[in-house]
Structure formats: C-alpha cells, structure tokens
Amino acid sequence: MSLQFIMGNSGAGKSRYAYEKILAEAARHPEKNYLIVVPEQFTMQTQKELVSLHPAGGILNIDILSFQRLAYRIFEETGGSLYPVLEETGKSLVVKRVAQEKKKELTILGSTLKRTGAVSQMKSLISELKQYQIAPSELDAWAEETGEKKLLAAKLKDTGVIYRAFEKYLENRYVTAEDVLEVLVGKLEESALIKNSEVLVDGFTGFTPVQIGVLGKLFRLCAKVYVTIIMDEREDPYKKAIPHQLFAMSRQLVQQLMKAADESGCPVEPEIWVRRSGHGRFQPGSTMDQLEQRLFRYGKRGFSGNGIEKRPESGTEAKTGNPAAGYEAKQQGIYISVAPNPRAELEETVRLIRRMVREEGMRYQDFAVLTGDLSVYGTYAREIFEKCGVPYFVDEKHSVLMNPFVEFLRAAIEMVVQSFSYESVFRYLRCGLSSLDREETDAMENYVLALGIRGLKAYGETWTRGYRGIKPDEVPQRNLLREKFYAEVQPFAERMKKKDATVRERTEALYALAVQNQMQEKLEERRQQFEQQGQEAFAKEYSQIYGIVMELLDKIVEVLGEEKMTLAEYQEILEAGFAEASVGIIPPTADQVLIGDNERSRLKDIRVLFFVGVNDGLIPRHDAGGGILSEYDREELERADAKLSPTARETMYQQKFHLYRNLTKPSERLYLSFTKAGASGEAQNPSYLINEIRKLFPEIPVRDIEKEEKPEEKLEMPRSGEALFLEELGRAAEGEIDPLFEELYRWYAAHPEAGIPAETYRKAAFLRCADGVIGRSAASALYG
C-alpha cells in the first residue's frame, strides 16, 4: 500500500497522464481492479475519455465512480441492510416538520423558519454539520463557550434542538448522503473489489472530513492510491499553506492526505511532476501559456522565452513528450473589451463565435461562455443565441416553482386556504391547466368581478343575476362555466377542509385533482409543441416535470404519511418541498456553446472562452453572508476552534484559485469583457481581474464595443439584423436613406423565410394620417 501524488500546473496534462498510466497498468494486469474516483458531474465524461484513449476501446477492469457510486458498489458486493437514502427534498420536508413540532422550544429561530428559503438554509446547515462530523451535543458545548455572544448562543441552541429532532426522526428509518459514506468506511474491509486494487482520485480541490475518512481506509486496503493535485512546478507543495497564496487549497489538500496516510500507516512515495509537454493544453510560449505561468503569482520572478521558470527537481518527472521545437505561436491570445450593457456584451460574443465558426472552421462545442451572474446573462443569452441561430446550452438547474403544473397545485391549495377568494380562484384558473380555457376564464372573471362573488358556497349556487353591460342570454352561459368549475374543485375542497386529515389523505386529494384534469396528457402535449418548435430545453423540462412532482408527493407520503396535519401546516410542507425540487437538463446535443456559472460549471476541451460580466461584485462574487449562521458567527466559531465550511475571507481566497482554473481552461483564446452599466442601468466598475491581466500583458488594448462597432458587423444572421433594419427604417422615414438600408430592405423583401416582415414594417413606418377636421356630431360623440 502507498500514496502517490501526481502534480502539475493547470493544463499540464495531469489527468491525461494519469489515465494513460492506469490504462497501461490495467492492460498489463487484467486480474487486478482499477478504480477512478472523480466528482459526480465528471463520471460520464471521464468514462468517455478513457474509452477513447484505450487502444481496444474497452475498460473491462477499470471502474469510474464518484464517492456515492463507490459506496453503492461496495454495498451491492458486501450486502447488509442500508436504510433508504433521504435526498435533499426529503431533508427539507423533515426539517420543516421537526421545526413545526419543536417551535415552542425555539427561542429565536421559530419565526425565522417560516420565511421563504429559511428551511433550505437550515437543511444546508444540518448537511454541513454532518459533513464535518459534528454531533448535536457539540453545538450545545459551543453555545456554552460563546459566553457573552448571546445571539450566537441562542442560534446554536435552536439549531441543536432541530438537529437532534432531525436525527431522532431519521433513526431506524433513513440515512442521509453524508451517513452513506460513514457506513461505507465500515464496509470497505469486507470488499474483495477494494483489496489490492489501484485507485486514482482525480478532479478534486478539497475533501470533507467524511471523504477523508473513506480515503484513509483506502490507503490501508489498496495496493496504491494516486491523487492528482494542481500545483505550480516552481512551488514547494509541502510548505505550510498560507491562505492568501494561490495554491493554498492544494497545499491544505496535500497536508490532509498525508496526515490521513500517516494515521493509516501508509507510506507516501515521491510525487510525480507532469511538466507542460505534448499532452499539455497550451502551446509553449503562447500567450495562454504565459497567462497560466504568471496569473496571481506575486513577487519577482524571471521568465524564460517560453514562459517557464524551472523549480528545483524533486520526486519523479513524468515523461509525456517534448515541447515543440521552434514553435511559432499562431493567432492565440487574450482580448479585453467593454460594452455599454450585458445585452450588447452578449451580442458581440455571438458575433465573434459566428465569425470564428464561419472563417476558421471551428465547432460550436469549442466555445464556452462563463459569467458570475447567470440569472441575468442566462436570460439574455437565451434570447440572443436563439435569434442568431447559435446552438447553446445554459448549464443551470431550474427551480420547478415557475412551472405551470407546480403553480396549478400550489394555487389549488391556496384557493382552499383563502376560502375561494377572487385572487386565489383566478390564480388557479390562469395556470391554463384547468377544465376552463382562456376565453371561458375571461368571461367568468368579468362576471365574478362585477358581482363581487366570493367563497365556495357562492360557486355552488345558481347564477341568475345580470349586471350593466351583460346580455340576458349570457347569464346562463356564465352559470354553465360555474357548474364546470364547481364540479372540478368541490370534491377536492371538501377533502382538503377535513380538520383531522392525515398527510396521506391530503396528498391523495391533490393527486386526484391532477388526474381529474389529465395533467400527464396536457404536459405531454406541451412537450410535443416545444419539440416541434425546436425548443429542446423546454421539451426536456416538460418531459421530466410530472415525474418530479409525483416523486415529491410520494416522498411526502413516505416520510410524513400517517401524521395528522392542518391544511396550513400541509401547505408549508408542500411549499418547502417544491422550493427544493429542481429540473436538471442534460445537454440535448454535443455541438453547442456551453453557457455556465463561473463557480458551478466545469469545462473540458474548449479552445475559446468568453468570460462576460467581469465587473466588480460579480468576479469574484461578493456574498452577502446570509444563512442561519452569519459570517460574524462563523468567525467567532473559528476563533473557538470549531471547524465548519470556509468563512467569507477564506472563500474569497478560494475564488481566486477557481478563477485561475477557469481562465486557464481554453487552449487558444480568452475573451474578457465587462460592462459600463448593469441590466437595470446602474453604473458598474470593472473587476480587479481586468487590471491583473493588464499588468501582466500591458500591450493588450481595451476595445470599446460601442465606439468601434460598425453597422455591418450586426449582420451575422438574418434575425440579428432586425434591430439595425428597424433603426435605419426610422431614419429612412425621416428622409435619410442609407445604401445599407436599401440593400437590407431588398434582401429581406426577397427572403420572407428569414422571418422579417420587411414590407409590413415599411408600410407602418411610412404611414401618414391625412390632415383634416372631424364633423360636429363626431366631435360631440367623442368629447361631449
């Protein structure tokens, strides 16, 4: 048994070297097992890469696993009972329930947990405590040690009450994902798969204490464990980590693993250094190569012609190829631009992507767009990329709260809670999934508003009254709409209003309402419509939403089924479940531009990266420090040697490391852009990152898109020229006719398939009302 680190700079080819090493070993020893442990989101991608690297296209004795998948693989082999795993949505349901039960024992968090998002924050805090192996009793001890910090002490005590109740509820029923790894530690010794196998741990920048416990056991049982570490070849990886230094996370990781190895009695072999070479991401001497070598490195360093400063030799050097001799850099580099606003920034991004695809033969999958504010830039990206015909995928999880089906169920319960108030009834009907269509809903709403109808009883009585403006024969038609609506909701309302109903009974009533309104069929129709319109992302969402909601309802019944609950309490539980549920979409096609978040998204094999919105406050992100425990609370606990997840100061240093990783992902070009104003018009400043890059490369100019942009540059695609056409059309209507407008008009008029109604726009722009007067009778009718 032994531990060996595989170290190298970002882009040096550590993973490639490690994969080839494992493949070679696996081919020589087909009787041995080889395991590759990677983060959950990398499993499929790693599998694909290994198959493509293998000469025979197969990996029979190699398994690619995450920590969770490794656990289930071992459980399958060793047997033994494992309680069902409570996933994130289930955790929120249990937290909400125990908070309701213990509200009399809570001193300050009782009212807080009723706020939107508070249950999710408490669930995250409990998960964090379990990851760091902190028991409820330790929270009580911390509360005693805080002394005069009464607010912090009260928070810790309340958290301890909920945490203890949470643990008690789960006892002999469920385990959490964190508990799964603790069970795994006890099962590893029984596994024949693990004994004498070789393990590669790749793609991690840090481990939780629970994961360190698993690795410690692997060190003891496996023949060899390799761990890849991002580390500058000029640095000493064994020096004490200083938080503000770029590779502090890597040094902490090395120290954690060496301590675990020492406790396991596992020797540590000399590290393998993967030098930048033929398998590296960058061409030696290129601008991107120099960026990787110099970014966030402080102090005086000398750089050779190819940007390499050698560190003293230690360990083993991986021989993976020689740098190309006499390499002359192609057009590779870094570009910085400023745009007036996010929309203009993304329009310029799309134009550059289209141009490179058209003129340089690139594929859309060669590009990625990252941002620090995906909520704003993702919205603009969908509109602009769609308009320009560029295939894209926004890498985010959608909350289910805005889906019409979820809104339908939430509105149905709200309708009963509010005793069929006007607002709640038409919130329900406006979802578009009830038995009434839009025109019928409009007609019924006018009648209800005119006569002030409220309450279920009023909807159960025959409507015979008229009002000013309604025709007598229309009243019976409104009554027919009332009958249809009443027949739909009355059984549901009666079952929901039952005072001593259990969670199961209330959930069955909700399910019956969904079945009665043929929700599955209606959602399938909408999915087909989106598919026909080419909106693959929406089609994927609608194909999943019914299953997600049914799974949530099943989970509510499974966790809380036989408990009696008031309707208001049930509504809170359901809202907590819906708030936690989300829709994850796998990219529909391979050849598309990835649009992702700077902190969440993981990039692989891209040639060009567009980093948009590089503004102060977004890159790096300034978190407000919300949550049950504030930033001040966490700093106090850290001073008392209570170890939790990183504080804001530590997170800020870590963000620098993640920036380094992302900025060195593209192999050829990096485009950085920032805006003068935000989406709502507020003035913005560039991020400090822009100045950092300009200090390293002072020759790089900052291009002002607004000043340098030429009108014809907007014409990458027919749809993208619409705004310019309308702008020029307005000038033409005032007598300023530009040759560019004439050419655009001729082209759009000759190509109606482009979707721009040029003739209709022209008629509207040149429409003039004839001067004249109106007659006395018309004036009297209009103005009295």
Residue with tokens 């939430």: 410
Residue 278's pLDDT band (cuts 50, 70, 90): low
Which residue did the predictor score with more confidence, 449 or 719?
Answer: 449
Whether 488 contacts 428, CB under 8 Å = no
The pLDDT tens digits of the residues spanning 556-603 come to 898 888 888 889 889 988 888 888 888 777 676 778 999 998 887 888
Joined tokens for residue 717 = 């695609």
Alpha helical stretches, state H, 191-339:
209-221, 248-264, 287-294
Residue 20 has pLDDT above 50, yes or no: yes
Gap between the terminal Cα atoms of the chain: 99
Mean pLDDT is lowest, of 23-32, 133-142, 668-677, for 133-142
* Secondary structure of 659-689 in HEC code, one letter for each residue: HHHHHCCCCCEEEEEEECECCCCCECCECHH
Separation of CA 121 from chain center = 17
Residue 135 has pLDDT above 60, yes or no: yes
The pLDDT tens digits of the residues spanning 223-277 come to 999 999 999 988 899 998 888 888 999 999 999 999 999 999 999 999 999 987 6
Strand order in 392-394's β-sheet? 392-394, 593-597, 367-371, 608-612, 669-675, 333-339, 702-704
Strand order in 316-318's β-sheet? 62-65, 34-37, 198-201, 224-230, 3-8, 272-274, 316-318
What are the residues facing 37 on neighbouring strands? 65, 201
Residue 191 has pLDDT above 70, yes or no: yes
CATH classification number, 3-81+181-280, choose in 3.40.50.1820, 3.30.565.10, 3.40.50.300, 3.10.350.10: 3.40.50.300
pTM of the model: 0.78
d(CA 147, CA 135): 20
Residue 327 has pLDDT above 60, yes or no: no
Which residue did the predictor score with more confidence, 715 or 498?
Answer: 498
d(CA 722, CA 732): 15
Residue 673, pLDDT score: 95
Compute the average pLDDT of residues 69-86. 85
Residue 712, pLDDT score: 64
Residue 756 has pLDDT above 70, yes or no: yes
Residue 306's pLDDT band (cuts 50, 70, 90): very low
Residue 625, pLDDT score: 52
Residue 302's pLDDT band (cuts 50, 70, 90): very low
d(CA 574, CA 567): 10
Residue 399 three-state SS: strand
Compute the average pLDDT of residues 371-393. 89
The pLDDT tens digits of the residues spanning 402-435 come to 889 999 999 999 999 999 999 999 999 999 899 9
Residue 116, pLDDT score: 67
Residue 212, pLDDT score: 93
Whether 194 contacts 188, CB under 8 Å = yes
In the chain, where the domains are located: 3-81+181-280, 88-173, 333-395+588-708, 401-580, 717-766
% pLDDT > 90, the chain: 43
The pLDDT tens digits of the residues spanning 415-424 come to 999 999 999 9
CATH classification number, 333-395+588-708, choose in 3.40.50.300, 3.40.50.880, 3.30.70.890, 3.40.50.2300: 3.40.50.300
Residue 147's pLDDT band (cuts 50, 70, 90): low
Residue 614, pLDDT score: 94
* Average pLDDT along the chain: 85
DSSP 230-251: E--TTS-TTSPP-TTSTTHHHH
The closest of 144, 167, 158, 198 to 94, measured between CA atoms, is 167
Residue 332, pLDDT score: 56
Compute the average pLDDT of residues 319-346. 65
The pLDDT tens digits of the residues spanning 340-360 come to 999 999 989 999 999 999 999
Separation of CA 592 from chain center = 18
CATH no., domain 401-580: 1.10.486.10
Conformation bin of residue 475: beta by default, left when phi > 0, alpha when psi is -120 to 50:
alpha
Domains 3-81+181-280 and 333-395+588-708 share a fold: yes
Residue 272, pLDDT score: 94
Residue 98 has pLDDT above 60, yes or no: yes
Residue 776's pLDDT band (cuts 50, 70, 90): confident
142, 144, 150, 154: CA torsion to nearest 10 = 60
The pLDDT tens digits of the residues spanning 478-511 come to 999 999 999 999 999 999 998 889 999 999 999 9
Residue 644's pLDDT band (cuts 50, 70, 90): confident
Mean pLDDT is lowest, of 133-147, 280-294, 491-505, for 133-147
